[in-house]
């Protein structure tokens, strides 16, 4: 079982630890619902060092990135971040990642924990013609997330400097106690917040500093459970549930990340064919009308016909209702359409709704 540098901190905080893609990670410290509400109303601190981190450098770094992703990194300015799928030749989603651009010859990628080895091999496999330097820095550069409407105040209080000039989906290099710290205004909660890269040797010190400086203002650690309910309310997808190599971006809610006006990228031809043929199935949000909590894999029906399955589902603490995402026949993925979710041997009424389910008033700016 792999451990992040904060493992002992989690144990001291009485976190409930679980195995998550070979990492020992905190599911929750308090209750999931309390941690969820704390992030929505104040702030929470997450250990996300299990996520993969790669650095790519070389004269042809930008053309390489452009070839590997569906989004258009050519539109990025220096020190901006972009969300994008990485697709195979058939258009299936290998992963969804964040691309950090320092310069046209220097990038960093943040990838999903479950896909780290697969992704690194995939990028290496295609990198040879570009003569690049590629490094996996996951074990040396750790990552935490400070999320919630009070996160800006807490970060400024901790480091005694202003960060309001750091806009959504941008990042910067900062010095903390003589140590290089990369701070990005990004997150996976639907709230304002920051993701902070710190040398693994100094992570415990930085975590404790954040907690010591802001504990009196209500900052508490939060675990994977709240991270999942927060991201679902915000309509953010989870790899392995809402998308995988058998699902294309055009079939999901992130179809906007496919930029066909780019010269070329892996999967472009297949995605163009799918677009021209028509999308047979689509990811849609729904809320339960009947009482019942939808879970991943539950069948979705229209009348007696199975039309798809639930990909993610949970109780929504912010809205006090049960919500989910489902991959269903496109003809039924219209807002207002009534469906049934099969929970064990019974059918429960649900309705297709617009996503995101919850939109924070504290978030400004958009995803690039």
Domains and CATH numbers, the chain: 2-49+139-233 (3.30.1360.120), 53-132 (3.30.70.1400)
Tens of pLDDT, residue by residue, the chain (368 residues): 999 999 999 999 999 999 999 999 999 999 999 999 999 999 999 999 999 999 999 999 999 999 999 999 999 999 999 999 999 999 999 999 999 999 999 999 999 999 999 999 999 999 999 999 999 999 999 999 999 999 999 999 999 999 999 999 999 999 998 999 999 999 999 999 999 999 999 999 999 999 999 999 999 999 999 999 999 999 999 999 999 999 999 999 999 999 999 999 999 999 999 999 999 999 999 999 999 999 999 999 999 999 999 999 999 999 999 999 999 999 999 999 999 999 999 999 999 999 999 999 888 655 56
Residue 305 contacts by C-beta under 8 Å, 6 or more apart in sequence?
none
Distance from C-alpha of 359 to C-alpha of 269, rounded to nearest angstrom: 34
Per 3-state DSSP, the chain is made up of helix, strand and coil in percentages (nearest 5) of 25, 35, 35
pLDDT at 364: 67
Question: Is residue 346 classed exposed, middle or buried when 0-12, 13-18 and 19+ CB atoms within 10 A define those classes?
Answer: exposed
pLDDT (0 to 100) of residue 367: 58
pLDDT of residue 366: 54
Answer yes or no: are the C-beta atoms of 314 and 228 closer than 8 Å.
yes
Bond from prior residue into 183 cis (ω within 30 degrees of 0): no
Neighbour-count burial of 303, counting CB atoms closer than 10 A to its CB (0-12 exposed, 13-18 middle, 19+ buried): exposed
The pLDDT of residue 124 is 96
pLDDT of residue 352: 98
Q: What is the SS3 assignment for 352?
A: strand
The pLDDT assigned to 365 comes to 58
What pLDDT is recorded for position 362?
83
Sole residue written with tokens 């060092």 = 49
Closest CA to 188 of 97, 108, 73, 276: 97
Output the six-digit token pair for 53: 């981190």
User: Quick one: pLDDT at residue 363?
Assistant: 82
């Amino acid at each position: 079982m792999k451990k992040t540098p904060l493992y002992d901190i989690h144990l001291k905080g009485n976190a409930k630890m679980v195995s998550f893609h070979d990492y020992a990670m905190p599911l929750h410290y308090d209750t999931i619902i309390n941690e969820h509400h704390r992030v929505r109303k104040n702030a929470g601190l997450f250990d996300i060092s299990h996520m993969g981190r790669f650095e790519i450098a070389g004269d042809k770094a930008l053309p390489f990135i452009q070839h590997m992703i569906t989004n258009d990194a050519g539109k990025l300015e220096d020190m901006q971040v972009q969300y994008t799928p990485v697709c195979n030749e058939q258009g299936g989603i290998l992963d969804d990642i964040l691309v950090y651009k320092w310069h046209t010859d220097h990038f960093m990628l943040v990838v999903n924990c479950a896909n780290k080895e697969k992704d690194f091999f995939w990028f290496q496999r295609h990198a040879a013609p570009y003569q690049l330097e590629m490094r996996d820095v996951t074990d040396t550069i750790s990552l935490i997330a400070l999320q919630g409407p009070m996160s800006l105040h807490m970060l400024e209080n901790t480091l005694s400097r202003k960060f309001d000039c750091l806009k959504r989906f941008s990042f910067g290099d900062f010095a903390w106690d003589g140590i290089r710290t990369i701070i990005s205004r990004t997150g996976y909660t639907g709230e304002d917040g920051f993701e902070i890269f710190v040398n693994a040797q100094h992570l415990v010190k930085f975590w404790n500093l954040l907690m010591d400086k802001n504990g009196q203002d209500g900052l508490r650690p939060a675990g994977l459970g709240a991270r999942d309910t927060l991201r679902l309310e915000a309509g953010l997808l989870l790899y392995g549930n809402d998308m995988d190599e058998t699902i294309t971006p055009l079939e999901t809610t992130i179809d906007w990340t496919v930029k066909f006006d780019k010269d070329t990228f892996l999967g472009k031809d297949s995605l163009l064919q799918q677009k021209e043929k028509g999308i047979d199935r689509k990811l849609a949000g729904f809320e339960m009308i009947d009482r019942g909590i939808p879970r991943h894999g539950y069948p979705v029906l229209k009348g007696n016909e199975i039309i798809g399955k639930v990909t993610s589902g949970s109780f929504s603490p912010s809205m006090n209702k049960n919500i989910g995402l489902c991959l269903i026949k496109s003809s039924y993925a219209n807002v207002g359409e009534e469906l049934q979710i099969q929970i064990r041997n019974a059918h429960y009424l649900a309705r297709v709704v617009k996503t995101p389910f919850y939109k924070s008033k504290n978030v400004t700016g958009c995803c690039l």
